[in-house]
Amino acid sequence: MNPEDIKQLREELGWSLAKFGKYFGVTAQAVLKWERGTALPNDFTMAAMIQLNRRLDEAKGENQKQQFINGLKQALLTGGVIALLTFLFNQDESS
């Protein structure tokens, strides 16, 4: 993902720099650096963002996209990074 893709993903989720960073274990300042292209996320974070972007692209219609985002938020609230990865990589693709 390039810097513009990262910014677009964050904006599509409707998350602030701080909220996006919180879910990936970094500061808002780090996210801003990613979006400006002055720093890169680590490989783990990049893989999670690529998968998150892919899953959002696969969502059919706003309702399904919103359901996915709500599930994502719930996973993050209840289990942090491990729950995020489980949600992104193991959820049934047909949902």
Segment 38-85, tens digit of pLDDT: 999 999 899 989 988 998 888 888 888 888 888 877 777 666 666 677
Q: How many residues does the chain have?
A: 95
For residue 83, what are the domain limits? Answer: 3-90
What total of structural domains would you count in the chain? 1
More confident of the two residues 19 and 95: 19
CB atoms within 10 A of CB 60: 7
Closest CA to 7 of 43, 31, 41: 31
What pTM, to 2 d.p., does this model score? 0.75
Instruction: Judge whether 95 lies within some domain.
Output: no
Burial degree of 49 (CB within 10 A; 0-12, 13-18, 19+): buried
Q: Contact at 8 Å (CB) between 25 and 76?
A: no
Q: Is the dihedral of CA 27, 33, 39, 44 positive or negative?
A: positive
